[in-house]
Amino acid sequence: MKTFILIHGSWHNAWNWHKVIPVLESKGHKAIAIDLPGMGRDKTPIQEVTLKTSVEKICTLIDSLDEQVILVGHSKNGIMISQVAEYRPEKIEKLIYLAAYLIPNGKTQSEYSIQDIGGVLKPYVTRFPELNSHTLQTEIYKEGLYHDCEDSITQMAKLLLSHESIATGITPLQLSEDKYGSVPRFYIECTEDKAVTPFIQRKMYTETICEKVYRMPTSHSPFFSKPEELSNIFCEIATL
């Protein structure tokens, strides 16, 4: 049995994983999804959210467990699992980046996001300077995030998505080869992704080498459209 900790992406929360968790559990694994600070049920004011507070929440969860974990990060919050691996390398068995930002030491998520000129989301992002946050306009949800998902997912997203911290995306990562670099990395590319396009996904996993790259012909959200297939990849990685 392995323990998976599942980290959602921008604007989302632990709801992302509601179809994946029962599949992993049915295969004998333990799966935990959390709301990062300011997201979902976590009521931290969004203007107080930082990379540090988000990483600390994940580290606190890891510290509460006796076993090593497999840490999964989706989308923007690939940055979170990388930084956590720097602080807790001995507690993390593997890192899995799901259409996620896999960026090197000293760089920020926003530096890579700005290079992804083929993505469809940017014109639909609304900034709130007074909150140091942004939101995604609902009219792009289906095309940009869920084009291969049931319509009910888009409708639920309209109720559940929230503000996203700007601070987390502009804070440079602090990573070292002897800590972060000691944890095996795996990448799952979503080849029909319109949010984090295959162009930028390939750029990242080419610059930062992974043990293995998997490919899924899905949108940005295979945890909704292909939960069984995604879970099978997680389980295969667990055996490597």
> For the segment 76-110, what is each residue's pLDDT rounded down to a tens digit?
999 999 999 999 999 999 999 999 999 999 999 99
Helix, strand, or coil (residue 212): strand
Identify the pLDDT of residue 106: 99
- Determine the structural domain holding residue 100 and report its residue range: 3-239
pLDDT class of 156 with cuts at 50, 70, 90: very high
Summarize the confidence of residues 123-141 as an average pLDDT: 98
In angstroms, rounded to a whole number, what is the distance separating the alpha carbons of residues 212 and 171?
Answer: 28
pLDDT class of 201 with cuts at 50, 70, 90: very high
Mean pLDDT, the chain, integer: 99
Identify the pLDDT of residue 232: 99
- Buried b or exposed e, range 167-195, using 16+ CB within 10 angstroms: bbbebebebeeeebeebebbbbbbeebbb
Identify the pLDDT of residue 28: 98
Task: Spell out where the chain has E strands.
Answer: 3-7, 30-34, 69-74, 92-98, 125-128, 133-136, 164-165, 185-190, 212-216
CATH number for the domain spanning 103: value is 3.40.50.1820
Biggest CA-to-CA distance, the chain: 46
Q: Look at the pTM and tell me if it is higher than 0.85.
A: yes
Identify the pLDDT of residue 18: 99
> For the segment 27-84, what is each residue's pLDDT rounded down to a tens digit?
999 999 999 999 999 999 999 999 999 999 999 999 999 999 999 999 999 999 999 9
Identify the pLDDT of residue 151: 98
Count of domains forming the chain: 1
